[in-house]
A and B are shown apart, each in its own frame.
Chain A
Amino acid sequence: MPKKINLNLDTVENREIRLGSIISWDGKASELVELSRYEERGRDIGCSGNRSSGCRLCELNMPFNQSSMCTNSIAACQVGNLTDCVLIQHSPAGCSARNPVFNLSFREGLKRRGKKQKNINIISTNLQENDMIFGAGDKLRTAVREAYSRYEPKAIFLSMSCSTAIIGEDISSAATEMEDELGIPVIPLHCEGFRSKHWSTGFDIVQHGIVRQIANKHPKKQSDLINIVALWGTDYFTDMLKPLGLRVNYIVEIASYEDLKQISEAAATTTFCHTLGSYMATALEQEYGVPQVRAPQPYGISGTDAWLRAIAKICGKDKEVEEYITSEHERILPQIESLRKKLTGIKGYVLTGSAYAHGLISVLRELEIVVDGSLVFHHDPVYDSGSEEQNSLKTLVDTYGDIPHFTVSKTQPFQLPQLFKRTPADFVIVRHGGLAPDLARLGIPSFEMGDEHLPVGYDGIVRLGKAVLETLSKRKFNNVLRRHVSLPYTEWWMNQKDPFVFANKPDILDEDGDRTNEITAKK
């Protein structure tokens, strides 16, 4: 593996450049596996991203968008949810408007991890029109000093926004200066919303900053400590790792500064989702020799088996793990069998982030639920590790079979009527805002996956099976809605069959259809 993460730079390359990530594609999962050419990209860094036109993964070009999330929000959700560090958003106030959601997640996350609930402390520099003209470097420095005196944080993060990037604010210099002045890490995050076509670049930006400026540069090995790159999920990983004598270190959300600092001391790094965790795992492996778990994600029986074995191998627990796996199979298989009786043939659909969807589909198919369609918000043809064991879409297709309608599209609810006409579903698993309400109006019950660790491991199969059964009962509500409420789209659009018709047939925008709105306009 060529060295590719450069911690000398204070920022990362976007995913679309680094990995060749796409946000718009439609076809069979097996085709996407093939087109992604993971192995080739993993072997040769020059071939990873879009700079090399030779193996670029092509995508559909859509002239229409609906609103979604940005890298700036991701930075806030990650480092804004640390227990003893402060994030300063260098931006107008609107870039902090999502913080109430992160406050909810933070409070819930603290509860899940057994910590005292409290509010987040994110500061906005609250930039005004004058600042756009004259610059706001002084305001930023004032904010950093104020943050330090108010909260005595262990580290301060500075995040960039669209406006501060356009007017050329230099947060890197400010960070260096303030770090010298205050004697704590001050970390610049170049996460302006317009910079990447997908918000997941935000994870990389944050994790880069943490590995670069917080990870202990003189690590003292903790041979039983496993880094779990996570969000706010319930601590189900301890259930799986404690029997092997291992401890978990959850990063980034809900972590403390000390938790972040010790990432370089861990025995290994793993995650519930490669989309989220691959960058940090690779950076730690490369920089500090902390091996990353080269295995499928811990979903379904075979994924969990392989994941546990890979961890055990790194930690020298080969014997213990086999005993554990055998006893877990004995314990869990009867429970899975009884759920299968209730779930066989039910049609499910997964609408979540990329690698996470691969895991969820594995679990649903383990339960004999039919999954003929899924939509992911982006697709990385390769992860930073380049590790073939982490080729999660291939693992899914190889283990559980193809997915005939596999769609990549960044939260575009207008496509839902077409997608669900094509692939009818009894329920949908969703993880992202703005989609479930439209499904509800289409009469489809959805399970908004609020606790991302729910489907992880052997028990995750049972937990998810139960959650699906509960979700199916929500059909009552959705059917009431469907009978009385409609989606805000024209008849013309509702009658279209292809969710990507604008890309596949661009001229359709100029053709006369039932142009309801124009008719209204000319009345």
Chain B
Amino acid sequence: MKLQQKNSILTHQHYACSMGAAYSVSAIPGGVPIVNCGPGCIDQQYATMSFCNGYQGVAGVGSGDIPGTDTSENEIVFGGAKKLDGVIKAALKIMKGDLFVVLSGCAPQLVGDDVGTVVKKYRDMGYPIVNAEVPGFKGNNLKGHETVVIAIIDQFVGESKVRKRKKLVNLWFEEPYFNTFWRGDYAEIKRMLKAAGFDVNVFFGSESTGVSEWKDIPKATFNLVVSPWMGLKIAKHLEKKYNQPYLHIPVIPIGEEATTAFLRKVVEFAKIDSAPSERFISQEAHRYYYYLEHFSNFFSEYHFNLPTSFATVGDAAYNLAVTTFLADQIGLVPVKQIITDNTPKEYREQILELYHHLSEEVCTDVEFIEDGFIVEEEIENTDFGTGTPLILGSSWEQDVAEKIGGILVEIGTVATEEVVLNRSYIGYNGALSLLEKIYSASIGGK
């Protein structure tokens, strides 16, 4: 097991920098990122977060629409506070939005601009504006996402003593845009939790009502973190701030058994009536196995080089979820699992434990490697057994997949061979889509 890679250099990286969290703001209906950084920073992050990631595009304010300071030599020498002030002032007049988040990158941080004071001036005037300092040298987009969410909680949601609503839950789940299938996944998880009897603040995407959900954060009875590590920091912050407990479910559920167990666990934790969730579960299970029974004919009888073992390369959340599903429910053998998201050191042991207990009698290792060169070497040197090698990864692995005669299914950043709209790979419906995708690819379709 490698808990740390030896080289710190990167090639074929699977993430953006913390400025990429501008897309967490874009994902909030009514959210407007304002970027305080060099002229190319946010254009760079757009490529990894959205365009070259299933060609997601944006709704609302993203891509070329994002207002920014385009920091130039003048601001490096004389300071950039004045220019930022001008950009904010104009942005508030031009951009339609309910929540403005100023994200500051490397340059203003290194020259020591007092960004907080500039932003506070507008907040004091009554504008819904938040300051988040997310220079790229402090971490990647996942870290940036947590920083931005906490900044919004502290500076926009604020202190509020309200009565809790028993069935209301705050969901801390995949990172918008970064997780290629987040839009579909958020829709699926909200659909399931709603059917189980919850009201859910999802905060991002088509199923969110926008800033009103953020204002409602303190009203929730608890926080639900569905991710191996990302979001725990937010839940812990909220536990302190609003005295809200949290439930941490590290493995995003894929497939009937995992999803049913997930729903029962959440219902039990919330101590709400289990009748609605049980009704929903039985309907969903019925449909799921109706399809799975059909699939089993192909799976049992098709005898031309189907994959028998697989590798996963990607962020901790999807890597763990997909590995668990394929190992525990389909019976594919996990032979090489690599997490590329620079998971904070303190969570690595716990995550490793989960890979050790993927399923009864199934134990595998996971390695934490960020440098794509080493990732590709590892894949190349993996024994995939008698079947066609299957790699669930990113576009960066396409050369090595070709080299070993394998099949590549893109499940995460970066994904340039996939156009993703509402597809989801989680829950009841997503599991079936994932099987469709993997096995279409396996028999020569794309």
A389 to B15, CA, bound (A): 47
- Closest Cβ–Cβ distance, residue A408 to chain B (whole Å): 15
A428 to B17, CA, bound (A): 33
Q: Cβ of A338: which chain B residues have Cβ within 8 Å of it?
A: none
Answer whether residue B79 sits at the interface, using C-beta atoms and an 8 A cutoff.
no
Answer whether residue A236 sits at the interface, using C-beta atoms and an 8 A cutoff.
no
Contact B91 A64 (CB under 8 A): yes
Given known A-B contacts A92-B106, A93-B13, A437-B57, A489 and B140 have beta carbons under 8 A apart: no
Interface size class of B (residues with CB under 8 A): 35 or more
Answer whether residue A128 sits at the interface, using C-beta atoms and an 8 A cutoff.
yes
Given known A-B contacts A127-B137, A167-B110, A521 and B40 have beta carbons under 8 A apart: no
Given known A-B contacts A67-B70, A413-B65, A517-B96, A522 and B126 have beta carbons under 8 A apart: yes
19 contacts between A and B (CB under 8 A): A65-B87, A66-B68, A70-B38, A94-B44, A95-B40, A97-B48, A97-B49, A124-B9, A125-B9, A129-B138, A139-B8, A150-B373, A162-B71, A413-B64, A433-B46, A515-B93, A517-B98, A517-B127, A521-B126
- Closest Cβ–Cβ distance, residue B78 to chain A (whole Å): 12
Contact B94 A414 (CB under 8 A): yes
A298 to B13, CA, bound (A): 40
Q: Cβ of B439: which chain A residues have Cβ within 8 Å of it?
A: none
The chain A residue with its CB closest to the CB of B123 is A521
Answer whether residue B197 sits at the interface, using C-beta atoms and an 8 A cutoff.
no
Contact A517 B97 (CB under 8 A): yes
The chain B residue with its CB closest to the CB of A147 is B9
Contact A488 B61 (CB under 8 A): yes
Contact B414 A100 (CB under 8 A): yes
A490 to B30, CA, bound (A): 12
Q: Which of B257-265, B345-353, B392-400, B423-431 contacts A (4 or more CB under 8 A)?
A: B392-400
Q: Cβ of A64: which chain B residues have Cβ within 8 Å of it?
A: 67, 86-87, 90-91, 94
Mask for A120-153, Cβ within 8 A of B = 1, else 0?
0111111111011000000100110010001000
- Closest Cβ–Cβ distance, residue B403 to chain A (whole Å): 10
Answer whether residue A195 sits at the interface, using C-beta atoms and an 8 A cutoff.
yes
Given known A-B contacts A67-B41, A166-B107, A166-B110, A104 and B10 have beta carbons under 8 A apart: no
Contact of A70 among B12, B40, B60, B64 (CB under 8 A): B40
Answer whether residue A53 sits at the interface, using C-beta atoms and an 8 A cutoff.
no
Given known A-B contacts A100-B414, A490-B93, A194 and B76 have beta carbons under 8 A apart: yes
- Closest Cβ–Cβ distance, residue A498 to chain B (whole Å): 13
Contact of A122 among B8, B11, B32 (CB under 8 A): B11
Mask for B80-112, Cβ within 8 A of A = 1, else 0?
000000110111111111101000011100110
Contact A199 B64 (CB under 8 A): no
Answer whether residue B51 sits at the interface, using C-beta atoms and an 8 A cutoff.
yes
Given known A-B contacts A70-B38, A490-B93, A65 and B46 have beta carbons under 8 A apart: no
User: Which of A97, A131, A492 gathers the greatest number of chain B CB atoms within 10 Å?
Assistant: A97
Contact B110 A67 (CB under 8 A): no
Which A residues are within 8 Å of any B CB, using their own CB? 63-73, 91-101, 103-104, 118-119, 121-129, 131-132, 139, 142-143, 146, 150, 161-163, 166-167, 192-195, 197, 199, 411, 413-414, 433-435, 437-438, 485, 487-490, 492-493, 502, 509, 513, 515-518, 520-522
Given known A-B contacts A94-B18, A163-B110, A197-B72, A70 and B39 have beta carbons under 8 A apart: yes
Answer whether residue B223 sits at the interface, using C-beta atoms and an 8 A cutoff.
no
Contact B47 A146 (CB under 8 A): no
Q: Cβ of B343: which chain A residues have Cβ within 8 Å of it?
A: none
A121 to B138, CA, bound (A): 24
The chain A residue with its CB closest to the CB of B140 is A93
- Closest Cβ–Cβ distance, residue B120 to chain A (whole Å): 14
The chain B residue with its CB closest to the CB of A519 is B126
Q: Cβ of A91: which chain B residues have Cβ within 8 Å of it?
A: 136
A107 to B346, CA, bound (A): 39
Contact of B16 among A97, A142, A143 (CB under 8 A): A97
Within 8 A of A (CB), among B362-394: 370, 373
Q: Cβ of A195: which chain B residues have Cβ within 8 Å of it?
A: 72-73
Contact B97 A69 (CB under 8 A): no
A125-B9, A162-B41, A192-B38 given. 5 additional CB < 8 A pairs? A103-B395, A162-B37, A434-B43, A488-B60, A517-B100
Q: Cβ of A194: which chain B residues have Cβ within 8 Å of it?
A: 38-39, 71-73, 75-76, 107
Q: Cβ of B323: which chain A residues have Cβ within 8 Å of it?
A: none
- Closest Cβ–Cβ distance, residue B328 to chain A (whole Å): 32
Contact B92 A517 (CB under 8 A): yes
- Closest Cβ–Cβ distance, residue B59 to chain A (whole Å): 8
A128 to B73, CA, bound (A): 23
- Closest Cβ–Cβ distance, residue B53 to chain A (whole Å): 8
Contact of A97 among B20, B66, B94, B128 (CB under 8 A): B20
A129 to B134, CA, bound (A): 12
Answer whether residue B42 sits at the interface, using C-beta atoms and an 8 A cutoff.
yes
Which B residues are within 8 Å of any A CB, using their own CB? 7-13, 15-20, 32, 35, 37-49, 51-53, 57-61, 63-73, 75-76, 86-87, 89-98, 100, 105-107, 110-111, 125-128, 135-138, 140, 370, 373, 395-396, 398-399, 414, 416
A493 to B92, CA, bound (A): 11
Q: Cβ of B32: which chain A residues have Cβ within 8 Å of it?
A: 488
Q: Cβ of B42: which chain A residues have Cβ within 8 Å of it?
A: 67
Contact of A520 among B8, B98, B107 (CB under 8 A): B98
Q: Cβ of B125: which chain A residues have Cβ within 8 Å of it?
A: 521
Q: Cβ of A434: which chain B residues have Cβ within 8 Å of it?
A: 43, 46, 63-65
A91 to B18, CA, bound (A): 14
Contact A93 B17 (CB under 8 A): yes
Contact B15 A93 (CB under 8 A): yes
Q: Cβ of B49: which chain A residues have Cβ within 8 Å of it?
A: 97
Given known A-B contacts A65-B69, A162-B107, A193-B38, A516 and B45 have beta carbons under 8 A apart: no
- Closest Cβ–Cβ distance, residue B399 to chain A (whole Å): 5
Q: Cβ of A414: which chain B residues have Cβ within 8 Å of it?
A: 65, 94
Q: Cβ of B135: which chain A residues have Cβ within 8 Å of it?
A: 92, 163
The chain B residue with its CB closest to the CB of A164 is B106
Q: Cβ of A197: which chain B residues have Cβ within 8 Å of it?
A: 39, 72
Q: Cβ of A518: which chain B residues have Cβ within 8 Å of it?
A: 92, 126-127
A70 to B39, CA, bound (A): 6
A403 to B215, CA, bound (A): 51
Q: Cβ of A502: which chain B residues have Cβ within 8 Å of it?
A: 90
- Closest Cβ–Cβ distance, residue A88 to chain B (whole Å): 8
Q: Cβ of B416: which chain A residues have Cβ within 8 Å of it?
A: 100, 103-104
Contact B64 A94 (CB under 8 A): no
- Closest Cβ–Cβ distance, residue A346 to chain B (whole Å): 26
User: Which of B96, B127, B396 gathers the greatest number of chain A CB atoms within 10 Å?
Assistant: B96
- Closest Cβ–Cβ distance, residue A353 to chain B (whole Å): 15
Given known A-B contacts A64-B67, A103-B395, A493-B93, A193 and B40 have beta carbons under 8 A apart: yes
Q: Cβ of A435: which chain B residues have Cβ within 8 Å of it?
A: 64
Contact of A101 among B51, B59, B70 (CB under 8 A): B51
Contact A94 B45 (CB under 8 A): yes
Q: Cβ of A167: which chain B residues have Cβ within 8 Å of it?
A: 110
Contact B45 A97 (CB under 8 A): yes
Contact B137 A67 (CB under 8 A): no
- Closest Cβ–Cβ distance, residue A478 to chain B (whole Å): 14
A231 to B419, CA, bound (A): 26
Given known A-B contacts A94-B20, A128-B137, A493 and B126 have beta carbons under 8 A apart: no
A230 to B110, CA, bound (A): 36
- Closest Cβ–Cβ distance, residue B49 to chain A (whole Å): 8
- Closest Cβ–Cβ distance, residue B188 to chain A (whole Å): 24
Contact of B41 among A127, A193, A199 (CB under 8 A): A193
Q: Cβ of A143: which chain B residues have Cβ within 8 Å of it?
A: 9
Contact B398 A132 (CB under 8 A): no
Contact B64 A411 (CB under 8 A): yes
User: Which of B43, B53, B57 gathers the greatest number of chain A CB atoms within 10 Å?
Assistant: B43
- Closest Cβ–Cβ distance, residue B136 to chain A (whole Å): 3
Contact B63 A68 (CB under 8 A): no
